[in-house]
A and B are shown apart, each in its own frame.
Chain A
C-alpha cells in the first residue's frame, strides 16, 4: 500500500485518513443506517488480543492527544485520526486494532443503535437538514442517493450482528482502501504507518457496486415538511447536475457559481442584498459517482416565503433560458482561479483532494489541471451546459414550515397543483 502523503511542518500534528470507497448507497434497503452503525462501532473500542471497551479506547486516545472521527457518506466511509506528532505511532496502532477487531458484540451493537436512533431524534430540530433530506428523498426517489446516511429508525432497529458482519466484509472488500497522511510526517514514516494499517485490514479488491443512473424528475413538484412554530421557512430547489468527469462539468460549475456561489452572485444579490429576504441565498453543485444535485437554498420569513420562492424560480428559469454574459464568466473565472490557491494551501486540504481523486477515479492530474479547464470555459460553453444539464421545469422544491400556513401559497408560487405534505418526524 502506498499512502497518499502531504507533508507540512507548520503544526506538530499529523492527520491520518482511512477511506473505504463505498458508503450508505450500498446498504440493503431494509437496513438503512448500517454503515453508520459500523462507523459508530469503530468508535466503541476493539476486541482482539488486547480488547478495549469504549471508555478504555477513548482514554487511550485522549492520553495520546488523538481524536478519532468517522464520516459516512453515500460513496465512502472515512476514519480520520488527528494526533500530536510525538504520539503518531501508538495512535496508528490503536486505529489498526479498531480496524482489525471491531467491537461486534450484542451489547455494543445495542448501544450504537440507541445512540444513532437518538441522533435521528435530535436531527428533527435542524430545519435546514430536514429540508435537505426531504429534497434529496424526493429528487432521488427510489435511488440510493435518495437515502440519508443517518438511516432510518426502522432500519437501525432491524440490524443484527450477522447483518453487520456481512456489511463489514462487503465494505472492506469493495475497491481499495485509501490511506493518507498529512502534516508533520515524512514519506518513510508515512509508509511505515500505512504498513501498520495494511497489516490490520482485510484484503480484497472486489469491484465497487455500480449504482443505477440518477434521473431528472418530470415536472415541478413541492414537498412541505410540516413543522409547527416556525418563524421562517427553509426553502430548497433541486434538480440534477453533472458527473465531475463530464466534459461540461467545469462550465456548469462556473454557471452555478455565477448564479449562487459567492457574495456577488445573482441569487445572493437578488434575494439577500436587494430584498433582505434571507440571510443565506446560494446555489450548490454536488459531486459523486453518479450525476448529483444542483440546488438553490434560502430561508425567508413565513410572510416572505411565497414571494421569495417565486423570485428564486424566476431567476433560475432566466439562468437556464437566457444564460450568463461573457463579463460574468470572466469575473467568475478570476474568482475561482484565484481562490483555487485556498484549495491547496494546507497539507490537510491537499490530502483531501488526493483522496477525492482516488475515491472518484479522477485522473492523477485532475486537480493539477483545474486551472487549464477553467481557462477554457467561455460564456458559450457555460450557457450550453446550463441549457443541457439544468431544467427549471423539472425540479423539486422542498420547504420546512407549518403546512397549513404555507403549503397553498408556496404551491401557487411554484406552479404546483398538489403539494406533498410530509410530517417532520416521519
Chain B
C-alpha cells in the first residue's frame, strides 16, 4: 500500500495473476468474460448492488484484463474504504453465476469484440499478428476471445475458472491514497482473513519455438495501408528488456525518432509510426506499426525504409541519442504517477508480473544504465526474424 493524505480519496485495486495466456484452446475469452461477470450477484449482494453501492458512495469502479493479468479498480472517497474492501472480499468468495445474467454479459462482450476488434482495422491486424507470431504460447489468444469460443463458454467453465484463479494466493490487493496501514490491515484481516488458498495449476509450459520469418496479407475495409511487424521481445524480467525499451524509444519515440524522421519526414510515405516492446511475464512481441500517409502508398513502400533504418542501428546510436531516449522514458514513467489510480496500477503490475511492487524506480535506473553497446546488442538479439502483417485496403465493391 502507498498512503497519501494529499486528497481525501483512495484507490483500491485487486490484481489476479491470470489473463488470456492461461486460457485453453477453445476457451479463449474466459478471463475477460469473467472480469465482466465479477460485477454480478453474490450470496450477500443482489445483482447490480456492487456498482450501485460504489456509486452511491461517490466512487467509480472498473476492471481490465490482459495477457498476464486481470485487475479490478475502485476510486472512492476515503470514507468508503471499508465498503470497498467488504464488497471486494465478498465477490472474491461468494459470486453467484446465474444463466440469464451470464447470457446478457456474453452478448455485451460480443458487442465489445465487434466494436474494438472486428470494426477496428488496427486491432484486427494486431490479433492476426499475435496468431501468426505465436503457434504454441498462450499469448496467441486474443484477450477478448474468438467469437465462437465466447459463444461456447458455459457457466461450469466460468465456475471452474473462478474456483481456480480467484483465490488469495493468486491475488494482490493494492491500496493507494488517504488510508492508514493499520486500518487497512484490520479491514483486510476482517474481510479476507477466513479465505483459503486454491490449488493453482502449474504455469503453462507453452514454450514458443524460436521465431521465424512469417508474412500475412490482409485485405481490410480501410483507405490506408498499414505495416505491422512483430519481433520476439524479451520477457519483462529479462536483463535485456530495458535496452530493448530504450532502442524502441530511439526508433519510434516522438518526432526526433529515427523511424519518424525516415518514413514520415524524409520518405513522406507514412503519417505515423509506433512501437511497443511487450511488457509481459514471458517473451512476447516487439511491435512496430506504420500507417500510410496517402491512399496510393502500399505496405511495400512502408517496409523498405523501415528495414533500412533497422539495418543501420549501430550507425545511428550515440550517447546523445541515448540520453534523449532515457529522458523521454523517465518522463513517461512519471506521467503515469499523477493519479492514485496510476500509482496503484504500477504497484499491482509490478507485484503480479515482476514480483516486485517497487519496480519503477529501479526500472528508471536500469534505463539510465543502458549503454550504446547494450542497444546494439538488443538490436542484434531481437530485431531478427519477424512476423509481418501487410494491411491492404480492400476493394469497396467486394467489402
Q: Which A residues lie at the B interface, using CB under 8 A?
A: 8, 10-13, 43, 54-55, 58-59, 62-67, 82-84, 87, 111, 114-115, 118-119, 121-122, 124-125, 127, 227-232, 262-264, 269, 272-280, 299-301, 331, 334-342, 344-348, 425
Contact = CB atoms under 8 A, between A and B. Distances in A.
A275 B104 contact: yes
Contacts, number: 183
Contact of B327 (A13, A63, A276): A63
Given A87-B327, A114-B268, 11 more contacts: A11-B334, A13-B334, A55-B261, A65-B328, A125-B223, A263-B55, A278-B111, A334-B56, A338-B57, A344-B7, A346-B7
B327 A84 contact: yes
Contact of B324 (A54, A62, A111, A118): A62
B331 A230 contact: no
A333 to B, nearest CB: 10
Contacts of B293: 114-115, 118
B331 A82 contact: yes
Contacts of A124: 222-223
A232 B115 contact: yes
Which of A111, A262, A269: most chain B CB closer than 10 A? Answer: A262
A232 B6 contact: no
Contact of A337 (B52, B58, B268, B334): B58
Contact of B107 (A84, A114, A276): A276
30 contacts: A10-B6, A11-B334, A13-B335, A54-B255, A54-B265, A62-B325, A63-B320, A63-B327, A65-B327, A82-B335, A84-B334, A87-B327, A121-B295, A125-B121, A125-B122, A229-B221, A231-B114, A232-B111, A262-B51, A264-B48, A264-B52, A275-B107, A278-B108, A279-B115, A301-B114, A335-B56, A339-B59, A342-B9, A345-B7, A345-B339
B9 A62 contact: no
The 8 closest A-B pairs by CB, nearest first: A338-B58, A276-B107, A65-B327, A118-B271, A58-B256, A345-B7, A229-B221, A58-B255
A65 B111 contact: no
A425 B224 CA distance: 12
Contact of B294 (A83, A121, A232, A338): A121
B340 A115 contact: no
A339 B58 contact: yes
A277 B107 contact: yes
Contacts of A12: 334
Contact of A228 (B4, B8, B55, B399): B399
Contact of A338 (B39, B80, B338): B80
Contacts of A111: 265
Contacts of B118: 231-232
A10 B178 CA distance: 14
B141 interface: no
B399 A115 contact: no
A12 B333 CA distance: 11
A55 B256 CA distance: 5
Contacts of A334: 56-58
Contacts of A114: 268, 293
A55 B325 CA distance: 14
B261 A84 contact: no
Contacts of A54: 255, 265
A58 B399 contact: no
Interface string B244-257: 00000000011110
A136 B61 CA distance: 30
Which of A121, A272, A274: most chain B CB closer than 10 A? Answer: A121
A253 to B, nearest CB: 15
Given A11-B337, A118-B294, A119-B271, A62 B256 contact: yes
B213 to A, nearest CB: 28
B75 A115 contact: no
Nearest to B255: A58
A273 B340 contact: no
A200 to B, nearest CB: 22
Interface in B46-99: 48, 51-52, 55-61, 75-77, 80
B348 to A, nearest CB: 18
B112 A230 contact: no
B121 A66 contact: no
A228 B48 contact: no
B323 interface: yes
Which of B122, B224, B272, B338: most chain A CB closer than 10 A? Answer: B338
B107 A264 contact: no
A58 B334 CA distance: 20
B308 interface: no
B103 interface: yes
Interface in B298-342: 320, 323-325, 327-328, 330-331, 334-335, 337-340
B9 A345 contact: yes
Contacts of B320: 63
Contacts of A58: 254-256
A276 B56 contact: no
B140 interface: no
Given A263-B61, A339-B58, A277 B111 contact: yes
Nearest to B394: A229
Nearest to B260: A58
B293 to A, nearest CB: 5
A316 to B, nearest CB: 20
Contact of B56 (A277, A331, A425): A331
